[in-house]
Amino acid sequence: MATRDQDVPQASGSGSATGVLVREGTYGTRVLEVEPGGAEFIPLSERHGRPLQLFWTWTSPNMEFATIFVGVLGVAGFGLGFWEAALALVLGSAIGGLTQGILSLRGPKYGVPQMVLSRFGFGYWGNILPAGLNAVTAGIGWFAVNSVSGALALNVLTHLPQVLCLIIIVAVQLVVAFFGYNLVHIFERYAFPILTIIFLIAAGVILSKAHPGASHKTIPGAFLIELGASFGYAVGWNPYASDYTRYFKPETSRKAIAWWSGAGLFISCAVLEVVGAAVGTAVNAGSALGGPGGMTSLLAKPLADLTLLAIALGAVSANVLNIYSGALSFTAIGIKLPLAARRAIVALGFGIIGFFLAWSALPNAGADYQNFLLIIAYWIAPWLAVYFCDLLLRRNPHENLLFSTRRENWAGPVAMLIGMGISIWLFSNQTKYVGLVPTHIPSAGDLTFEAGFVITAVVYLGWHAIAKTGRETTLTA
């Protein structure tokens, strides 16, 4: 029977503080060994790695059709002109890259995943809200989206049945994510040069065939909807940020961590999304929105085949992170499975669920992608507001705040729920639900993530200002 995390005394030689749950087992730099534990503190004796590896860790997973499709949506779906779409895509990616760099900084100091760090702003039990949302959206939602993307590319390339292509993609993803941190980093490292070379060549050809001045019919509020979609795609990686820096030594350069994390995410998202916008100007809307085949129709057959192979590889690169971090988020909820390989087992479970969700989505793969991207932005923006406001109030909190089951900060979940509820009710603009404002003023587009961030920040800061709390840096007796 599963038990809850409890405070434990300092592990000998771990370098952690009293009251910090320390990851058991020895892992080191071994690649083909299952990473032990779950969301616990990484002992100092286990720390390794360098900031440069963050560049390919955050570049490789965006070298896929799901990234390109964000740009396709702007032109072929929302009717934006190429330059308008490019501006929205660059802005959304820049915001996501900036926040990614900032969020990555605490990993080496605290040695825990991002969704454990989230406990500063939400408290131990209140953190179930964002950790649970991320476990579902990462380990299942994003996993299904990217598995479909990779399966469709492999299907176009090999003409094998779509379901068989999906099985192949999922199997590779599960193997890498099951082993854990070291194999994930190695996989991204070796995928990086292959993906970069192929996509840069394909991007050059596609951009040369684009028609930036092509006529278009823009839907009301298209720019803000596209900005929200681009932002949602980029910040979808934010809840994973310190998952991939927590093994670094505490003295690792903060500037290098922020730069390589932010740059890897921003450059890969912005470039491929702009390429997607170019695809929308070069082929008809139906072909562009129909899947990878519309894009590769612009390429000579050898390059088209290589690009399809790269799309499949990129989908795997994205999903090894999604499954790995989704599993970490699940363990960060506070449920401790009574086995050393708890993260690996959870990753396997998420992969199986995600496979069946992806299978059901194959016949209508692109229909709900826009909604999914916006929903990601709807909850991550309020979560970021709590995290950054708490960072402002609580400059150097002690590690024991992260693992005490009696430590509360209900301002976090309450502010996040209020921010989400009001912003979605007023500003959401997607096919499943249109909020009050865009219903009456269509040109307002979708301002949900912007409003959600501001409302959440006001509630969180207001709560602590009134209660004269929020600046505590350690547990009180």
Average pLDDT, 10 consecutive residues per value, the chain (477 residues): 37 46 83 81 93 96 90 93 96 97 96 95 94 82 76 83 83 78 90 95 95 86 92 92 96 97 97 96 87 87 91 87 83 68 60 59 57 84 97 91 90 97 94 91 91 97 95 81
The model scores a pTM over 0.85: yes
Strand partners, 429: 434
* Cα-based torsion angle of the residue sequence 321, 140, 32, 332 in order, rounded to the nearest 10 degrees: 80
Which helix or strand (DSSP H or E) is residue 4 part of?
A: strand 3-4
* Cα-based torsion angle of the residue sequence 460, 461, 467, 473 in order, rounded to the nearest 10 degrees: 90
Do residues 282 and 209 lie in contact, with contact meaning Cβ atoms separated by under 8 Å?
yes
Strands 3-4 and 335-336: antiparallel
- Using the CB atoms, write b or e for 356-376: b if 16+ within 10 Å: ebbbebbeebbeebbebbbbb
Which candidate, 385, 345, 457, 451, places its Cα nearest to that of 99?
Answer: 385
Q: Which residue has the tokens 């299942």?
A: 140
Residue 468, token pair as written in the block:
């004269």
| pLDDT value of residue 214 | 80
Do residues 316 and 351 lie in contact, with contact meaning Cβ atoms separated by under 8 Å?
no
- Return d(Cα 245, Cα 250) in angstroms, integer: 10
Question: In degrees rounded to 5, what are phi and psi of residue 4?
Answer: -85, 150
- Using the CB atoms, write b or e for 190-219: b if 16+ within 10 Å: ebbebbbebbeebbeebbeebeeeeebeee
